A and B are shown apart, each in its own frame.
Chain A
Amino acid sequence: MTSGINETAPAQGPKDTRTLYIDYSKCIGCETCEAVCKFLYAQPRIVMVRTVDGQMLPLYCRHCDHPHCMKTCRTGSLTVDEQHAVLLNPMFCRGCQTKSCILGCPYGGVFATGEGVAVSKCDLCASRRKKGDLPACVEMCPTGAILYVEREAIPGLETDESRAAEARVTDFVRPRKEKS
């Protein structure tokens, strides 16, 4: 990290597999990621929630290897690009009432907008990537909690704290059933 500014050239190797990873134990819930995304795209694609114990944390798309949202969408509006970013095609999306993609995402990473195209989701800043720029939320996070990393590197980045923090988010998105 001594080189200072990280150049935004694509990662070496034949295929770029970078995606977002948020270390929730470093996140201070400042909303900057949401704010920057909203500034660029009008509807934010990374959205703050307040967990049961009152912590503010952002929900985001994991661009899964086998995206559940994509499977549930019957209009074919969701596709993956060469970097395996899951993209929403607003031309095909008809904002169906079933909200299958929103309900289908185990991470709460697809968002209802309540206007226009009914759904918003992260495309890893597709237009910025074309220019070799990094995702805007990654650039502006004050704490460095959001990383843009090769998928394979993610398990190695997790810590006990990050997993514990992630569990609080998971509890929010998928509340555990009370076992009686």
Chain B
Amino acid sequence: MSAEPRMNFAFLRSTPAAAVGRNVGIIGAGPSGLAATGYLAANGYQVEAYDKLPRPGGLMVFGIPSSRIAPDRIQRGVTMLERQYGVLFHTRTKICCSAPLHEEEGDHFSYDMVGLADLLERHDAIMICTGSWKSRKLGVEGESLRGVYSSLEFLFPIRAVRYASPNVTVPPVEGKRVVVVGAGHSAVDVAHSAKQLGAQSVSIVYRRTATEAPCGRYEVERMVECGCTWLEQRNPLRFLGEVDVQGVEVALPDGTHEVLPADVVVTAIGEVPTPPFAKELGLENVRKGDVRWLNMTALDNVFVAGDVLTGPSKIGQAVYSGLRAARSLANWLDLRAQNRQHEYDAAADLVKR
């Protein structure tokens, strides 16, 4: 007996409901976008999902190592959405700003870029589920030296290279001394990946103790078992080197400094959301819950869900957000069709969070 071979994003109904004659576009096919896609497709909506990457799955496929989530499980779930629920996936398609919506200098189109305004014309409603991909910077000297990566700069190519993307090269790690800054889940993933890629040594530098590490003591112990060096209570001050990084200078609790030699440094201190057109959409208000409609942005018919809204979270939270937003979107379209939007009780919807 084995596990179900796929993530069933359309778990709500084993066969799609009768077509409701509505068409929704989902931007970003990570866990939040796929959950929303599954919910709406199961309820009889025609759903088209757009993603800039060659495969749907978001960070489940392009961030988290395949030893933890088998990419096939996600792909089979995607195939099921396509075949049984009629979902159309447009991969390698980036959604960006467009002139009619708000004029912005430097707006340009390439054939694989689609504007938000175009999408709004094409669909009855759209949902933005673009995640949180910009890595937070440490803000220390030497962060732009060659050989210094953020966690996603480091992890993404390792996963993306499987999909034969021409512009992607795996960071050279073999035989190198790698220093990882941070102790969250992405730091753990970086450490294990570096080990697997044949790093000579992997050291994890964290400013507090193992008990306080966001990844938990268990993960710290596992990294040590795998041959990584755990260096706690060390605060990185600057990265040393001329062109290539050569070391990390850290401060110890007693105030003394120490230099850790390094050929590769990865800062894994979290990501920040990079929503396209955050201001226009009034995302700050959506975050605060100050909305006319649950998960709807300042633009009518434009919804938002997942890490792009909440900042980095977890798959479960992204899924929940996607499902809630999808339900909200469907309710909005229903009431709007009858011109009864004003009957919506936002307060009642919010307390149920």
Interface mask (A25-61 → B, CB under 8 Å = 1, otherwise 0):
0001011111110110010000010110111100000
Query: Chain B nearest CB: distance from A169 CB in Å?
Result: 12
Judge whether A140 and B8 touch: CB under 8 Å: yes
Decide if A91 is an interface residue (CB 8 Å cutoff). Answer: no
A29 to B4, CA, bound (A): 18
Stretch at the interface among A62-70, A74-82, A94-102, A128-136: A128-136
Judge whether B352 and A53 touch: CB under 8 Å: no
Judge whether B216 and A39 touch: CB under 8 Å: no
Q: Which residues of chain A have C-beta atoms less than 8 A from B215's C-beta? A: 54
The chain B residue with its CB closest to the CB of A128 is B11
Give the A-B contact count at a CB cut-off of 8 A. Answer: 113
Q: Which residues of chain B have C-beta atoms less than 8 A from A5's C-beta? A: 5-6, 76, 80, 84
Q: Which residues, 1 to 31 on B, are CB-close (under 8 Å) to A?
A: 1-9, 11, 14, 31
Decide if A73 is an interface residue (CB 8 Å cutoff). Answer: no
Judge whether A30 and B7 touch: CB under 8 Å: no
Q: Which residues of chain B have C-beta atoms less than 8 A from A51's C-beta? A: 216, 218
Stretch at the interface among B126-134, B164-172, B313-321: B313-321
Judge whether A50 and B70 touch: CB under 8 Å: no
A111 to B19, CA, bound (A): 38
Decide if A6 is an interface residue (CB 8 Å cutoff). Answer: yes
The chain B residue with its CB closest to the CB of A2 is B5
For the complex, count residues of B whose C-beta is within 8 A of A.
Answer: 40
Judge whether B320 and A39 touch: CB under 8 Å: yes
A33 to B320, CA, bound (A): 10
Q: Which residues of chain B have C-beta atoms less than 8 A from A133's C-beta? A: 11, 14
Judge whether A143 and B68 touch: CB under 8 Å: yes
Q: Which residues of chain B have C-beta atoms less than 8 A from A141's C-beta? A: 3, 7
A35 to B36, CA, bound (A): 13
Of the A-B pairs whose beta carbons lie under 8 Å apart in the complex, a sample of 12, sorted by A's number, is: A1-B2, A28-B69, A32-B319, A35-B316, A39-B320, A42-B352, A54-B211, A54-B213, A140-B319, A142-B74, A144-B73, A153-B1
A binding-site residues for B, Cβ under 8 Å = 1, 4-6, 8, 28, 30-36, 38-39, 42, 48, 50-51, 53-56, 131-134, 136, 138-150, 153, 157, 168
Task: Across the A-B interface, give the 7 residue pairs with the lowest CB-CB distance, nearest first.
Answer: A54-B216, A31-B316, A144-B3, A139-B11, A35-B320, A35-B316, A139-B8
